[in-house]
Amino acid sequence: MTLPDSTTPLFARLERLGIETTTVEHHPVFTVEEASATYDAIPGVHCKNLFMKDAKGALVLVVCPHDREIAVNQLHKHIGCKRLSFGRADLLMEVLGVEPGSVTPFALINDTERRVSVILDADMMAAEVANYHPLVNTATTSIRTADLRRFLADLGHEVREMDLSRAGAAPTAEA
């Protein structure tokens, strides 16, 4: 397998910032459950990403460990916004330039208008290394969490690190 050209700007930006990553290609995965087959071969925290829209139209990307239980119907209270629902596939493509199953904080490179606010799980960010799709669900890229912070700061996005361990009890399946 070879990564598509759409990933080139991402890896070029990371390289420009002096950020080292490791990328492992694999079969397409669309859910956390499907992705779990890759976890043993790739060290670090494996993550899920929830692209959400609140009742007022604000966009939020919640990024947390793959096994973090999130009650989506209660999440808005925890992060301090209006009621949340999952963002539609067309909105995801319009704003982040990725398809469902490929949601990732790396996709913020495509949000040049900075429409998306980012919530990063504090436990995930306490880990040395975390894993995300590099804009496609046929690979997983490992990055030091300190370097993820630098990447997001370079993009100019509003980022909050929060304790999401109390954000609910209903697991979600979006990878």
Strands 45-54 and 159-162: unpaired
pTM: 0.90
pLDDT tens profile 45-99: 999 999 999 999 999 999 999 999 999 888 999 898 989 999 999 999 999 999 9
* Residue that wins the pLDDT comparison between 170 and 29: 29
pLDDT tens profile 106-126: 999 999 999 999 999 999 999
